[in-house]
Amino acid sequence: MNRRQFLKYALYGAGGTAIGVSGLGALTKVAPKSAIATTNTEETTVFSACEMCRNQCPIAVKVVNGKVTKIEGNPNDSGFGGVICARGNSGPSLLYDPQRLKKPMIRTGERGTGKYKEVSWDEAYTYIADKLKVIQQDFGGESVAFASRKGPHDWFFRTIGKGIGSPNIFSHEATCPMTRSVALDSMFGVEAIAADYANAKYIVSFGRNWLEGIHIAQTRAIMKAIDNGAKLVVLDPRLSVTASKGEWIPIKGTTDLAFVMAMANIIITEERYDKDFVERYTSGFDQWKEAVKDKTPEWAENETGIPKETIIRITREFAEARPQAILDFGWRTGLTPNDFQLRRAIMIVNMMMGNFEVPGGYYRIKNASVTNRFPEMTGYAKALGAINQPAFPKPVTSRIDGTGIKGIPGQLIPEGDGAVGQIVESILTGQPYQIKAWMVHRFNPVISITESDRVIEALKKLDLLVVCDVYMTDTAMFADVILPECSYLERHEPVYDMSGLTPKYVLRQPAVELVYPDTKPSWQIYKELGEKMDLGKYFPFQNIENYISRQLTPAGLSLSQLKQKGVWTPEGMKPFYLRANDSQASLGNVISKVSQKIEFYSEEVQHATKQGVPQYKRHPQPEEGKFRFVQGKVAVHTNAGTVNVPVLNELMPENSLWINKASADNLGILDGDDIIISSGIYEHKGKAKVTEGIRPDTVFCYHGFGRISPELKRAFGKGINDNKLILNQIGEVGNVCTSMTMVTVKKA
């Protein structure tokens, strides 16, 4: 082509029909059509599932002429009552956000400088596959770590990891509820235990904040209980919204276990426990009795700073209400290194109340495979089918975090979760061996794993970092390859089992076509990547509809059936509490311990940690002039996930540091002042919120702010990133330790 004739050629070349001949144009010639036909509006409702946080609440998406105009709760699900939270309501502004990732990108400059070029999906897959092949050859599949926020994408994402023989597959749970899962597993043999808040008469929260860390069904259940006259007691160093709706007990940080043990002590001394339940269903009560025998209210007063009269009163009130009395087991757990023992102690006290499998207590989640163990319940629901995969190569090494190794605490870590913080340590220290590559799906380690600077240092050392997300996250800024996932409003996902007191299935389906046509659903991304890596045989389905049908057919359901309502529950089945009418019913079908008992004393935990029943361990308290640094959730944001979403950002663009009025006065700090928070190792700038709603020895901020990615324009640099200040200390069962950091605060 003549160098000077390029534009002319593009305009008139090759028959003169379209610019497309140069590979440049976006427009294609068709027969002209006048637009008048589209004046009547077409309005539909698509039932699907929210993903503004990981709770996946059922939603009803209003679509007008192919555009999502509004999202509401799915009225077909009574537990949710057609209600969704602020984040769920803001879904359309994520869907149509011009800042979303739109095309696969490959890094062209230094890590962290944000220099990228866009590539085709095939180029991106090829790049990843080639790199992984070399790494796998040189260092083994185990040198590739996989981490995602837990969710329905995991089946596909993790298949890649298993396919290359990596044992190092992680969820985000170690940064969130994992110690609770470990505790439940060690006592019941299953994690699938939930609380029936709506029917409780007395609820005690240890920092659990249903009214800001919103889970629609649970938040509503708590409000219903309060409405019905239930008493709510909240032990929290900070006045959360939840605390404001009940009796606020500003407990000294990290001493919750002392309170729980004192409760047990009082209950045993005053013989307020359900003796029959303890005898019939539990084991290890004697060891527990021994462990709490000196944990008197006086002792607990000294530990927790709560007057013994208060401890006794609450314990008595609580025990009076049994079995409709719940000591809550927490959500974002992982406050201290031995946090899982707190969760165990909480569940032990619950079981002393006999509040298992009765209304207003705890219950085993009743999915179809559980209900079908009961003759009177069979026929209501059938289990979802599984998509079978050929055998995966057996990993040649054990995991980097000791998960599953007998005789050490790692024995207790759930295999599907792992201690995600260990990835950072293995990259930086090479211990127990070197992680060379990290695949990240919808997870933001820079903000979600403690000690952000160390995380960044680790990311810079990797041979390969791949991030799949909807936004340019702080972590994506360091990636070699960025894969743009489409939003939850544009994709199918495998059907979820959301069973509670009855079986329940929920569908996510696209409400509209792709807004950015080159984004893809995660199932497709990993299937295609897998095919590129010769792992195609592990993805034995044609497309997601086919996958879903194979889940639904064994359950006697069809995709078209599920599409109509978005949720499915067995008709006519009442909430199933095993002991509601028979207080002596066998628990054999709902707990999974070989002993057939709920284990207060656990041989396994003893073996792993030398502490078969929870023992009290005193953690340091802040010295004079220092504060304990604690964090929490806010209702309008999801952790590290939504601060860049336009409407939510508008409502709350930044966080601040809560500091008690008297403490602030001492330091000469006024409300709104610029401050510097220092842990002695790390410093962070921020703004002070001076309040009466926090302990004088504690400071607090909401999690998920202070983003470092300049690409996250709206969120960049605003507020405090809590995890920058917290050390990457890995707790006994792999958990983060979020309440162990002491800081000083001064005026900036």
Q: Which residues bind ligand SF4 (CB under 6 A)?
A: 50, 52-53, 55-57, 84-85, 87-88, 214-216
The residue (of 387 and 647) whose beta carbon lies closer to ligand SF4 is 647
CB neighbours (10 Å) of residue 287? 14
User: If contact means CB under 5 to 8 A according to the sort of partner, which of other proteins, ligand SF4, none does residue 542 touch?
Assistant: none
The residue (of 214 and 319) whose beta carbon lies closer to ligand SF4 is 214
In which element (H, E) is residue 221 found?
helix 216-227
User: For other proteins, what does the binding mask look like between residues 462 and 481, x meaning CB under 8 A?
Assistant: ---------xx---------
User: If contact means CB under 5 to 8 A according to the sort of partner, which of other proteins, ligand SF4, none does residue 64 touch?
Assistant: none
Binding status of residue 24 toward other proteins by CB under 8 A: yes
Q: Under a CB-based contact definition with an 8 Å cutoff, are residues 167 and 395 in contact?
A: yes
User: For other proteins, what does the binding mask look like between residues 655 and 684, x meaning CB under 8 A?
Assistant: -----xxx----------------------
Among residue numbers 112 through 141, which ones bind other proteins (CB under 8 A)? Answer: 114-118
The residue (of 303 and 417) whose beta carbon lies closer to other proteins is 303
Binding status of residue 584 toward other proteins by CB under 8 A: no
Distances (CA, A) of 465 to 113, 371, 424, 436, 639: 14, 43, 13, 9, 22
Q: Under a CB-based contact definition with an 8 Å cutoff, are residues 445 and 424 in contact?
A: yes
Stretch that binds other proteins, among 61-69, 198-206, 255-263, 334-342 (CB under 8 A): 61-69
Among residue numbers 321 through 360, which ones bind other proteins (CB under 8 A)? Answer: none
Helices 339-352 and 178-188, axial angle in degrees (round to 10): 50
The residue (of 57 and 587) whose beta carbon lies closer to other proteins is 57
Q: Tell me the site size for other proteins, rule CB under 8 A.
A: 102
Q: What distance in Å separates the CA atoms of residue 518 and residue 257, rounded to the nearest whole number?
A: 51
User: If contact means CB under 5 to 8 A according to the sort of partner, which of other proteins, ligand SF4, none does residue 709 touch?
Assistant: other proteins
What tokens does 563 get? 């599409």
Binding status of residue 262 toward other proteins by CB under 8 A: no
Among residue numbers 484 through 543, which ones bind other proteins (CB under 8 A)? Answer: 515-518
User: If contact means CB under 5 to 8 A according to the sort of partner, which of other proteins, ligand SF4, none does residue 562 touch?
Assistant: none
Query: CB of residue 621 vs other proteins: minimum separation in angstroms?
Result: 17
CA angle 195, 200, 203 (to 5 degrees): 80
The residue (of 650 and 683) whose beta carbon lies closer to other proteins is 650
Query: CB of residue 576 vs ligand SF4: minimum separation in angstroms?
Result: 24
Q: What distance in Å separates the CA atoms of residue 566 and residue 49, rounded to the nearest whole number?
A: 8
Q: What distance in Å separates the CA atoms of residue 218 and residue 213, rounded to the nearest whole number?
A: 10
What tokens does 501 get? 């007191």
Q: What distance in Å separates the CA atoms of residue 514 and residue 107, rounded to the nearest whole number?
A: 25
Q: What distance in Å separates the CA atoms of residue 87 and residue 259, rounded to the nearest whole number?
A: 35
Among residue numbers 174 through 203, which ones bind other proteins (CB under 8 A)? Answer: none
Stretch that binds other proteins, among 140-148, 460-468, 677-685, 688-696 (CB under 8 A): 688-696
The residue (of 316 and 714) whose beta carbon lies closer to other proteins is 714
The residue (of 217 and 479) whose beta carbon lies closer to ligand SF4 is 217
In which element (H, E) is residue 364 found?
strand 362-364
The residue (of 87 and 364) whose beta carbon lies closer to ligand SF4 is 87
Binding status of residue 251 toward other proteins by CB under 8 A: no
User: If contact means CB under 5 to 8 A according to the sort of partner, which of ligand SF4, other proteins, none does residue 53 touch?
Assistant: ligand SF4
Q: Under a CB-based contact definition with an 8 Å cutoff, are residues 738 and 670 in contact?
A: no
HSE of 551 in the Cβ direction (CA atoms, 13 Å)? Answer: 19
Q: What distance in Å separates the CA atoms of residue 487 and residue 530, rounded to the nearest whole number?
A: 21
Query: CB of residue 83 vs other proteins: minimum separation in angstroms?
Result: 6
What is the Cα 375 distance to its own chain's centre? 35
Q: Under a CB-based contact definition with an 8 Å cutoff, are residues 290 and 240 in contact?
A: no
Query: CB of residue 511 vs ligand SF4: minimum separation in angstroms?
Result: 14
Query: CB of residue 36 vs other proteins: minimum separation in angstroms?
Result: 9
Q: Are strands 58-64 and 67-73 parallel, antiparallel or unpaired?
A: antiparallel
CA angle 121, 123, 124 (to 5 degrees): 65
Q: What distance in Å separates the CA atoms of residue 339 and residue 257, rounded to the nearest whole number?
A: 9
Tell me which of 63, 194, 647, 727 binds other proteins, using CB under 8 A: 647
Contacts of 685 (CB under 8 A, 6+ apart): 674, 675, 676, 677, 720, 748
DSSP character string of 39-83: GS--EEEEEEE--SSTT--EEEEEEETTEEEEEEE-TT-TTTTT-
Query: CB of residue 157 vs ligand SF4: minimum separation in angstroms?
Result: 20
Query: CB of residue 224 vs ligand SF4: minimum separation in angstroms?
Result: 13
Tell me which of 385, 432, 646, 717 binds other proteins, using CB under 8 A: 646
User: If contact means CB under 5 to 8 A according to the sort of partner, which of ligand SF4, other proteins, none does residue 713 touch?
Assistant: other proteins
The C-alpha R_g of the chain, in whole angstroms, comes to 27
Residue type, 600: F
User: If contact means CB under 5 to 8 A according to the sort of partner, which of ligand SF4, other proteins, none does residue 500 touch?
Assistant: none
Binding status of residue 11 toward other proteins by CB under 8 A: yes
Q: Which position has the token pair 């001949």?
A: 21
Binding status of residue 31 toward other proteins by CB under 8 A: yes
Binding status of residue 41 toward other proteins by CB under 8 A: no
